[in-house]
């Protein structure tokens, strides 16, 4: 199992997500979304999510909302119609990651 982190955040402790799988960062912290960089970021995210397994893997939402949107766009493009995938949401009250299934109707 792999946890795909949308964007690395310096100083953020993601160790709680390790119980869901090995962490793989899609976009490094030093990348900023601009008109000049957006196509390169889209390519990087699509390439990284190419091996995403919706039955086993998770998407951990962090960083720039544009990058989070690109990751959702990529998964929506890659997945089969009716397929679901899982995200991890930080619950600050319980202080742990909560898995959420996206795409169920």
Q: Is the pLDDT of residue 105 over 60?
A: no
CA distance 18 to 64: 22
Count CB atoms within 10 A of the CB of residue 77. Answer: 9
Position 39 scores a pLDDT of 93
Q: What percent of the chain has pLDDT over 90?
A: 53
In 3D space, the residue among 41, 47, 59 whose CA is nearest the CA of residue 2 turns out to be 59
Span 52-90, pLDDT tens digits: 998 899 999 999 999 999 998 888 887 766 678 899 998
Q: Which residue has the higher pLDDT, 19 or 30?
A: 19
Position 81 scores a pLDDT of 63
Q: What are phi and psi of 91, to 5 degrees?
A: -100, 105
């Amino acid at each position: 199992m792999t946890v795909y982190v949308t964007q690395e955040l310096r100083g953020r402790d993601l160790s709680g997500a390790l119980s869901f799988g090995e962490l793989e960062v899609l976009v490094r912290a030093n990348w900023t979304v601009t008109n000049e960089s957006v196509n390169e970021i889209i390519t990087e995210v699509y390439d990284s999510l190419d091996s995403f397994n919706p039955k086993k893997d998770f998407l951990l939402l962090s960083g720039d909302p544009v990058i989070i949107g690109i990751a959702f766009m990529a998964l929506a493009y890659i997945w089969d119609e009716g397929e679901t995938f899982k995200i991890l949401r930080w619950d600050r009250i319980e202080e742990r990651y909560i898995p959420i299934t996206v795409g169920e109707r």
